[in-house]
Amino acid sequence: MRRPAWLTWGRFFDVLALLVIGFVLWKVFFAPRILKADAFPAPRIAYPHLNDHGVFHVADARGHVLFLEFFESWCEPCGLEAPLVTHYARAHPEIDVVPVDIAEPPVLARRFADRYHLRNVALDTTGTARALFQVDGTPTIVVIDPLGRIRATWAGFNPAVELAMGNAETMLR
């Protein structure tokens, strides 16, 4: 029995390439926009600010959309995503964007914050964010709605993070 003329290895690899491209497009443009329908309350946690400007309380952001950007100074993808998140934060001053360094000495967090021009940096000195906000890796952005509920967690570098943040903010207003 002969196989059909259209069923070749070349066609197989064409289909495989299309599936990979489709997955990448979904991951970059659509997956970050998905917000959880089963939101749960954000932990009532407080983190000291890096520049000794007091303490940041997650609960104080109620009434606003809050993006927590968890990072570590040694994380290369964090360095790639930080300027994108900073640009979004500066373009949208009505939105609360708080970069949070996870369990590093303040000198390392300060060096990273200065390099990428981060503002309002908070310090998770004990690393509790990993458990409280389900941060499995960095960078991770946690989206908290105006009612204080966690609506999304985006792990890993996303070159379209500004688009995702804008979409989330629009949906949660």
Q: In this predicted structure, what is the pLDDT of residue 21?
A: 83
Boundaries of every domain in the chain: 1-33, 35-172
Q: Tell me the per-residue pLDDT of 7-29, one tens digit each, with 9 for 90 and over.
A: 777 778 888 888 888 777 766 66
The two three-digit tokens of residue 154, written as one number: 């985006």
Q: Tell me the per-residue pLDDT of 100-157, one tens digit each, with 9 for 90 and over.
A: 999 999 999 999 999 999 999 999 999 999 999 999 999 999 999 999 999 999 999 9
DSSP E strands, 18-168: 40-41, 46-48, 55-57, 66-71, 96-102, 122-124, 140-144, 149-155
> Rounded mean pLDDT of 41-61?
93
Is-contact 103 35, C-beta < 8 A? no
Q: How far apart are CA 102 and CA 14, in angstroms?
A: 43
Q: What percent of the chain has pLDDT over 70?
A: 91
Residue 105: count of CB within 10 angstroms of its CB = 12
pLDDT bracket for residue 79 (50, 70, 90): very high
Q: In this predicted structure, what is the pLDDT of residue 53?
A: 76
96-102 and 66-71: which strand pairing? Answer: parallel
Is-contact 130 104, C-beta < 8 A? no
What is the fold of 35-172?
Glutaredoxin (3.40.30)
pLDDT bracket for residue 38 (50, 70, 90): confident
Backbone angles phi, psi at 29, to 5 degrees: -105, -30
> Rounded mean pLDDT of 22-49?
76
For residues 74-88, one letter each, b for 16 or more C-beta atoms within 10 angstroms of the residue's C-beta and e for the rest, the string is: ebeebbebbebbbeb
pLDDT bracket for residue 39 (50, 70, 90): confident
pTM of the model: 0.81
